[in-house]
Amino acid sequence: MERLPIEDKLTLSSIGFRSESCIAELVKIKERQPYNSLVLETAESIVDYCDMITSKNQLAVLGVPMIYFRFLLDDKPAERIESVRKTKLTLEKITRKKEVSSEEIDLGINFFRELSNKCLEYLGANRQI
């Protein structure tokens, strides 16, 4: 089995960790607790990356880690693209202090959970025992 370069491992770990942080903040929002707006900005950046890839149908975007392409296009691309769109709308509503339903927040939580799980999957598949 081919080992991932350290840079790829760090990128996967970073994206996975950020995704988990986004989940935690979305749970706080859902529970109407104070949340960290910096983490929400991170969530928006992640979704913007995904939106840039899916809306422009680009196979490569300079500076965007390959995990985003694999996450979006390897498995269920139509569902992932719809998930990006809905998550982006939800985050925009939260940023603008508009009412957001629990279902909308759950869609965002699921998006980031799937991204985090995909990072773990790629890291685990390349882990040597």
Q: What's residue 63's pLDDT?
A: 63
Residue ranges covered by each domain of the chain: 6-122
Q: What's residue 108's pLDDT?
A: 96
Kindly give the parts of the chain with pLDDT less than 50.
Answer: 1, 128-129
In the chain, what is the greatest distance between 2 CA atoms, to the nearest angstrom?
48
What is the residue whose two structure tokens read 């529970």? 31
Give dist(CA 71, CA 73) in Å, integer: 6
Closest alpha carbon to 68 in 16, 108, 24: 16
Specify whether the CB–CB gap between 47 and 90 falls below 8 A.
Answer: no
Give dist(CA 20, CA 17) in Å, integer: 5
Tell me the residue type at 10: L
Q: What's residue 41's pLDDT?
A: 92
Helix pair angle (37-56, 6-30), 10° resolution:
120
Q: What's residue 62's pLDDT?
A: 58
Task: List, for residues 67-89, the tens digit of each pLDDT value.
Answer: 777 777 777 778 888 999 999 99
Cα-Cα-Cα-Cα dihedral sign, residues 104, 72, 23, 35:
negative
Find the DSSP H helices in 6-101.
Answer: 6-30, 37-56, 66-73, 77-95
The pTM for the full model equals 0.84
